[in-house]
Amino acid sequence: MAKFIINGGKTIGGIFHPRGNKNAVLPMLASCVLTDQPVVLHNVPLINDVKVMLELLESIGVEVARDGHTVTLCAKNLRTTELDKELCTRVRTSILLAGPLVARHGSATIYPPGGDIIGRRRLDTHFYGLRSLGAEISTDQAYRFKA
């Protein structure tokens, strides 16, 4: 558990429980496909991007169990490495599944991601990184990655 150490002139006390953060949890959710063992995440924020990412994972065969802000995932029996087109268009972070799927299963098909329009958010850094690791990438109506 993380903690804060404060050096100062006055004594303070108490317990602080940090909230989950979508920018931390979304890559963690994507990484669950790297193993066939259960992955348990605590303090998961119950926001739309997380809900859609969980739907994406379920759509490819990841078992997902929710208990409040705790999520248990198991990617033992994936059915496919092709992501649902409609779900991809709902979140930007669908691209985060490319690396883990290619690493463990040798391929991934991901449709152009959507999400909030808050300015330019590039995908070429993902493509560059995967190509640098030896992946072949073709782009037409979908992004197809192969080990």
Residue 38 lies in a domain: yes
**Does residue 91 lie within any of the structural domains?**
yes
The reported pLDDT for the residue numbered 128 is 83
Within-domain flag for 94: yes
- What is the predicted pLDDT for the residue at 3? 72
* CATH number for the domain harbouring residue 110: 3.65.10.10
Report if residue 87 sits inside a domain: yes
The parent domain of residue 82 ranges over 22-146
Burial class (CB in 10 A: 0-12, 13-18, 19+), 93: buried
Q: How many domains does the chain have?
A: 1
**How far apart (Å, rounded) are the C-alpha atoms in residues 39 and 65?**
10
Q: What is the pTM of this model?
A: 0.80
- Beta strands of the chain (E only): which ranges? 39-41, 63-67, 70-74, 107-110, 136-139, 143-146
What is the reported pLDDT for 4? 67
Mean pLDDT per 10-residue section of the chain, whose length is 147 residues = 69 67 90 95 93 97 96 96 94 91 94 68 77 87 90
Q: Is residue 59 part of a domain?
A: yes
49, 116, 124, 140: which is the annotated catalytic residue? 116
pLDDT score recorded for residue 39: 95
pLDDT of the residue at 120? 60
pLDDT score for 92: 85
Query: Is 116 one of the annotated active-site residues of the chain?
Result: yes
- The answer as to whether 97 is a domain residue is yes
Residue 11 lies inside a defined structural domain of this protein: no
> Burial letters for 53-68: b for 16+ Cβ neighbours within 10 Å, e otherwise?
bbebbeebebebeeee
Residue 75, C-beta contacts closer than 8 angstroms, at least 6 positions apart: 32, 33, 34, 35, 36, 39, 57, 61, 62, 63
